[in-house]
Amino acid sequence: MTDEAQETYGVAGELITFQRLPDLSQAITVKDSLDTILVEGDDYQLMKSGIQAIEGGGIDDQGIKVSYTPLKANMIQALVESGREFTLFMEG
């Protein structure tokens, strides 16, 4: 994935999930809205599902772009009946 746009709110501790799970053994590049490369440990902490904004870092409410190698994955859907749609997010 190259320059995947992510909405951000500029809040310390904000979890910014990627569209797909990143391969953490490969390089991940995070850029702010001005295409400045952000630094892991200063601006964000890498998580299994994306990144978490660090207080005082360079992630603001203007969004970011991330480039990463996604893990190979399969999607499983359990459709019992149609109705309201929910998103369940689990990390760990």
Render each residue's pLDDT in the chain as its tens digit; 92 residues: 999 999 999 999 999 999 999 999 999 999 999 999 999 999 999 999 999 999 999 999 999 999 999 999 776 777 667 778 888 877 77
Q: Which two tokens stand for residue 2?
A: 């190259």
C-alpha dihedral (65, 9, 90, 43), degrees to nearest 10:
60
Q: Which amino acid would we find at residue 26?
A: Q
CB 58 within 8 A of CB 32: yes
Write down the residue that tokens 């902490």 correspond to. Answer: 45
C-alpha 70/C-alpha 80 separation (Å) is 29
Tell me the pLDDT tens digit for each residue of 12-35.
Answer: 999 999 999 999 999 999 999 999
* Helix (H), strand (E) at residue 66: strand 64-67
